[in-house]
Structure 1
Amino acid sequence: MQAPSVGGVLLPRGNGQTVRLSRGASLTDFAEKINANPASLVQVMLNLGEMVTATQSVSDSTLELLAGEMNYVLEIVSPEEEDRELLESFSIEFGEDEGGEEALVSRPPVVTVMGHVDHGKTRLLDAIRKTNVVAGEAGGITQHIGAYQVATEVNGEERAITFIDTPGHEAFTAMRARGAKSTDIAILVVAANDGVMPQTIEALNHAKAADVPIVVAVNKIDVEGADPTKVRGQLTEFGLVAEEYGGDTMFVDISAKQSLNIDSLLEAVVLTADASLDLRANPKQDAQGIAIEAHLDRGRGAVATVLVQRGTLRVGDTMVVGDAYGRVRALLDDSGASVEEAAPSTPVLVLGLTNVPGAGDNFLVVDEDRTARQIAEKRAARERNAAFARKGRRFSLENLDEALKAGEVQELNLIIKGDASGSVEALESALLQLDVGEEVDIRVLHRGVGAVTESDINLATGSDAIVIGFNVRAAGRATQMAEREGVDVRYYSVIYQAIEEIEAALKGMLKPEYEEVELGTAEIREIFRSSKLGNIAGVLVRSGEVRRNTKARLLRDGKVMAENLNIEGLRRFKDDVTEIREGYEGGINLGNYNDIKIDDVIATYEMREKPRG
């Protein structure tokens, strides 16, 4: 059966057939799947009121609109599934150990150390490795990501443990957001004299979200005011109950500075791994794993620290890491010494890649250079396409109702940041008490005091969460990161407004949202004093237009000097006017506000309803 013709070309009807496309596909990709002319699909989209070119990456919703119009069922293939299919086309299985149970050999646990700044994470690693990395750090903050392997004796048997030394939980979660399961166990370092701090809770929430067992290292027990029992009590509130209190979390009291009980901590890690995890891998297959960190070295080119998860990586192997590939020129261990091979759970620095991969990218060894190049190129193309279509693919309050109806989401993940712990707790408590029916749960992944950070956006990216800022804003590059990743960040100054909006979103009836639109700017050239009207600004309109009765703010050297002003009077020569356009001069009266100077800028704006998308 044929669809009506578009431009004289008959289009195939789908009759409910399924079309599988990757995220960020173009109309040309769609046309290839259904054996149609891409130009005719462009015409169909025009008829539907959408201007789309044939080769442009389009969003999932646009593809669904087109598929629905032509009676096809669209299935968007996830990046992970697409990568698996790509590797299957080369007869490669990723993430699976080859051979049966008899081929598997036990491997060391991979551990990440997390905790509040200045609670002794680096000093602990320092004590474990018996080398001094603290001295080489700027301001005592870890500047790089490395990985180290150490040995400890448990029940008379020597056991190895691999430590990933991350600069905090941000990197840990950035890797998790890319689908990387890099860590088997997390050590949470808490200072016995400080107790649980905001970043401790943040680190704990990141570890819980990654679903890894936690061992607690209560550090600084040698310091005055140390109270390890208090730490155990505080962490009980967050679901970490010590074994001596009837729970299943191992707590070890240590002093990293004095190297006290370090062996007990390592033993606790091994025992936790043995009790909770089945850590085995096949060392005889082609190596697979993940990149922990990568950078461009002036003398060596692109270098990557990789963690081998299965198989054995050898010098001379051809490997693909994300969209980078190359033949392994050299392998270096954590002390910088050359090694010939790396077994499962062994971290090594790899030399010989074409470009710098990303943290969390998967790596695998293949037979031929040509295969490696083809896989890397296809991954790079897919990443580019997905980036074009990424915006808006995550859940926002606007599309939450549709996602609920479509069964895509059963819980709303939230990250709450505020100006004070009391208001954050009050907001969290009120949100968790919302009655929104049985089809959806509200889950607060993390709450904290302070600005919305890149770490929060990372956590939201990995967990499809919505970020709520209460009386706080985003810090650093968090805003750009949220826009790039399509994370919905909401700012509120009234607690009830936040509660109402989230309740409304869950019930599918969000109220209009308003945004500020700049109308024009005017530069003050002269100041006229009037006994009746106060100071009048003689201005030149630099951009847009200035209208009477609109809102304005006064800028001096780029800084906001006054907000919420009104353009009460507007004159051209001796005539009252309603507006002055760009390039014209005139007089502006700001009502009772008289603190104006020559070269100040008056910026006018209005609030307009924002279309919901």
Structure 2
Amino acid sequence: ITQHIGAYQVHHAEKLITFLDTPGHEAFTAMRARGAQVTDIVVVVVAADDGVKPQTREAIDHAKAADVPILVAVNKIDKEGAQPERVRTEMVGLGLQPEEWGGDTMFVDVSAKARTNLDDLLESIVLLAEVEELKANPTAEASGAVVEAKLDPGRGAVVTILVQRGTLKVGDAVVAGAHWGRVRAMNDYKGEKVKRARPGEPVEILGFDSVPEAGEYVHVVVNDRRARQLAGEKANRLKTESLGRRSGKKNSLESIFDRARGAALVPDLNLVLKADVSGSLEAFEDEIAKLPQDEVTVNVLHTGVGGIAESDIMLAAASDAVVLGFNVRPVGDARQVADREGVEIRTYAVIYRAIDELRDAMEGLLAPEEVEETVGTVEIRTTFRASKVGVIAGSYVTDGKITRGAKCRLVRDGTVVYTGEVASLRRFNEDVREVNTGFECGIVLKDFMDVKDGDVIEVYETRQVERTLA
């Protein structure tokens, strides 16, 4: 079992492939939550004798949420009881259709122990990289991501960096979030000293003033002074954000509901679902699937049986999701992580209560409908000109009322010839605010003089009405 992130490189067909070996999904999620897209391709390794495990499902959910192409390596095909076809069938259920079955996911059967088909796996990775057109500029200012970092008693902060762009050199001033330093020494994945690192190369560097977090974005700056300044600014910003998080959740069902009122509409609602037993989870998902999703989509990023773990919170933080639990509670430090990351956890004992709240949140995301109501109808009986105002329509209010500044349409022989507003409204040479049914008045329309006897003015108003799901 992998206990930490390792980064190493393999040569294949004159190409260099860098592998990041992650401990399950947690580091991958934490990196993504901090905005670092460190992987170009995800290789999901599934044992041919065990099949799909809960952690496999979780790893795939994280890879999909990060929008990274997935390649499946079916391992241990040399073992007794190995069933690579069963693995493929199970993976289809997770949305990964093998190419040989008409899908677009590459599957490679391998045995790491017997070294069977490992070249085929490397060839598939190279091929997928070519299809995805993965390229980087080696001449730009160097930047990348922190893969892992630790404090060594003898050497100080030891930081493993994956260079993603440009060329990192010894002596460069670097910044990673609220941490800065100058590259004093650089070792490759074999531990050998190197002077420079090009895109895609993992290196261990010395020289940071403190230990940055995994997944932090690293970039080269012009000098130490600038590095120190940027790190200080980031530290202050993190402090402010931390205070802000304490005062309110970043993403909750209420905030989603309120977002519509602020017109910052989002088209979808991301969820992480946890339940006590798989039957409850299926019922939960079935009820969500029944919600009308023509205009607002509910994305279930991950489902799982058992308590709400830290990895669930980190996935929710990375994807602006809400965590919903059915008969489960946060375990370990999940509650503290949720408070720190601003993720809302909602727990329920009755599925229908969860569905009702979800429906409310979805309705909050719908754009309000604009409804038009006719306020009054006015008949033009005569017209006369005035030197300062132009054409005045001598009119009679046949229904409702007319108000100065109201929206209106001019209808002639059944055709709308003008849409605008009432600029002026008079009775007996006096300006008035409104005229009701059965009264005569003089009307001037805004920027329109071509009024004729027999025309009809329709006065209307519009209002926005909150919509409900069908």
Alignment match, 1:164: 20
- Report if the CA contact (8 A) 2:142-2:219 is conserved: yes
Deviation at 1:448, TM superposition (A): 1.1
Share of identical aligned residues, percent?
57
Partner of 2:206: 351
Report the Cα offset of residue 201 of structure 1: 1.0
The AA in structure 2 aligned to 1:143 is Q
Question: How far has the Cα of 1:408 moved from its partner?
Answer: 3.6
What is the alpha-carbon distance in structure 2 between the residues aligned to residue 251 and residue 330 of structure 1? Answer: 40
Give me the whole-angstrom Cα distance separating, in 1, the residues matched to 2:265 and 2:36: 22
SS in 1 for 2:302: strand
* Structure 1 residues 410 and 245: CA distance shift in structure 2, 3 A: same
> Which residue in the other structure is 1:306 paired with?
161
1:317 is matched with which residue: 172, 181, 186? 172
Task: Tell me the distance in 1 between the aligned counterparts of 2:251 and 2:172.
Answer: 41
Measured after TM superposition, the shift of residue 438 of structure 1 is 4.3
Q: Kindly report structure 1 stretches of 4+ aligned residues shifted beyond 4 Å.
A: none
Q: How many residues align?
A: 363
The 1:257–1:265 alpha-carbon spacing in structure 2 relative to 1, beyond 3 Å, is: same
Match of 1:236 among 73, 92, 99: 92
Aligned to 1:401: 257
Question: Paired residue for 1:122?
Answer: none
Tell me the residue number matched to 1:561. none
Q: How does 1:577-596 map to 2 (within 5 A)?
A: none
Matches within 5 A, 1:289-304: 289-304=144-159
1:147 paired with 2:7, answer yes
Aligned to 2:120: 264
1:217 and 1:412 map into 2 onto residues whose CA distance is 32
After TM superposition, list the pairs within 5 Å mapping 1:241-390 onto structure 2. 241-275=97-131, 277-390=132-245
Task: Check the 8 A contact 1:416/1:424 in 2, yes or no.
Answer: yes
TM-superposed CA distance for 1:343, in Å, is 0.6
SS in 2 for 1:356: coil
Does 1:453 find its partner at 2:313?
A: no
Q: Is the 8 A contact 2:24 2:55 kept in 1?
A: no
Deviations 1:336-355 (A, max 9, x none): 11111111110000101111
Q: Once the two structures are superposed, what CA deviation does each residue of 1:66-122 show, in whole Å capped at 9, x if it has no partner?
A: xxxxxxxxxxxxxxxxxxxxxxxxxxxxxxxxxxxxxxxxxxxxxxxxxxxxxxxxx
Residue 368 of structure 2: aligned partner? none
| Matched-pair contact (CA < 8 Å) for 1:205–1:446 | yes
Which of 198, 210, 217 in structure 1 is aligned with 2:73?
217
Any residues of structure 2 matched to 1:431-442 within 5 Å, and which? 431-435=288-292, 438-442=294-298
How far did residue 364 of structure 1 move?
1.3
User: Which string of whole-angstrom CA distances, capped at 9 and with x for unpartnered residues, describes residues 284-311 of structure 1?
Assistant: 2321111111111111111111111111
* Residues 1:426 and 2:279 are matched in the alignment: no
Q: Is the 8 A contact 2:250 2:342 kept in 1?
A: yes
Per the TM alignment, residue 447 of structure 1 is displaced from its structure 2 partner at its CA by: 0.7
CA displacement at 1:390 relative to structure 2: 2.2
What is the DSSP-based 3-state SS (H/G/I as helix, E as strand, rest coil) of the residue aligned with 2:328?
coil
The offset of 1:193, in angstroms, is: 1.3
Residues 311 and 429 of structure 1: is their aligned pair in 2 closer, same or farther, counting only changes over 3 Å? same
Give the AA of the match of 2:299: R
Distance 2:305 2:115 in 1: 33
SS of the residue corresponding to residue 389 of structure 1 reads helix
**Structure 2 counterpart SS, 1:475:** coil
Conservation of the 8 A alpha-carbon contact between 1:342 and 1:348: yes
Work out whether residues 325 and 347 of structure 2, in 8 Å CA contact, stay in contact via their aligned partners in 1.
yes
Q: Would the alpha carbon gap of residues 300 and 408 (structure 1) be closer, same or farther in structure 2, given more than 3 Å must change?
A: farther
1:508 CA displacement: 5.4
What 5-or-longer segments of structure 1 have no aligned partner? Answer: 1-140, 510-613
**1:35-62 C-alpha deviation (Å, 9 max, x unpaired):** xxxxxxxxxxxxxxxxxxxxxxxxxxxx
Distance in 1 of aligned mates of 2:220 and 2:232: 16
Q: Deviations over 1:162-196 (max 9, x none)?
A: 01121121111111111111110000111111211
Report the Cα distance in structure 2 between the residues aligned to 1:443 and 1:508, rounded to whole angstroms: 16
Across the aligned residues of Structure 1 and Structure 2, the Cα RMSD in angstroms comes to 1.6
Counterpart CA distance in 2 for 1:208 and 1:505 is 24
